[in-house]
Structure 1
Amino acid sequence: MTRFEFIVDGPPVSQQARKRGKGNPIQDCKKTVRQEAEKYWSSEQKTATGLVMLQITYFYNSDQMDIDNIVKPIQDAIKGLAYVDDKQVSDLLVRKRNLLGDFRENMTSTLTEGFARGNEFLHIVVIDASDQEVIT
């Protein structure tokens, strides 16, 4: 795998969601993320067996979420598809950006699709991890 990219209509579900409300919002989130990921997965792609970098960007209308709480359900949802086990995630970049921001240059077709939908969404990218040198 070199690059796997997909979008999920949002807002995302926080890992904290299991502590309140009815049902199991975490399991519902994982199911949705997995279904969306499978739509973008091609038969030519190979599940990564080495270290990977996971990039998650939450494009929002109203910022009400701590982004650190959205990672684990997404990691779990794409385990076995993008990578064998989430222990392979050696690098993680999580961002949130307002949909009205001015950053729409050099976008991939997948990211362009997310903006075209006009709603909050998650843009998720899995790539092979770069070298493991520690930068200070």
Structure 2
Amino acid sequence: MIEIHDTLRNEYGWDIVAVHAAVDEVMETSRLSYPYLGDDNWTDDRILYSECIVTDGDEVVGAGRLIWDAERENALPRIQDFCLLRAYRSDFVISSMISVLIDGYAEEAEGGTTVLAHDGSEIDISERVERLRDIARGQFEPRVI
């Protein structure tokens, strides 16, 4: 079964070193993220807001991060290190990964309400940010089933 896990919360007790080694393997062959200059240089002003991995049983089949270079002028928060094995690539899995990453960022959204997707496109998350703020204040509409 395919699952998406938030690795920053590490609620599963994984060996993070082993997980990152597995992600590196997938990244080498299955990268989908748009290449940004300076991605290899992790500076002190870079903030990791969210990170996820995709697993199929015990196998890591994908991953992604949402980061923001706070000190760079006009830098937008962006999805990087986004990878997914070809056999698992579907619009549903990719959009679910993006959604998980954006939700992790939208809780604070310090870098603004526009996020660069893995392919370089801009995503307006203003409605999501507002909804999460309303929920945090206890003001939300119940779901209708």
Shared fold (TM-score greater than 0.5)? no
Higher relative contact order (CA 8 A, sep 6+): 1
Q: TM-score, normalised by structure 2?
A: 0.29
Q: TM-score, normalised by structure 1?
A: 0.31
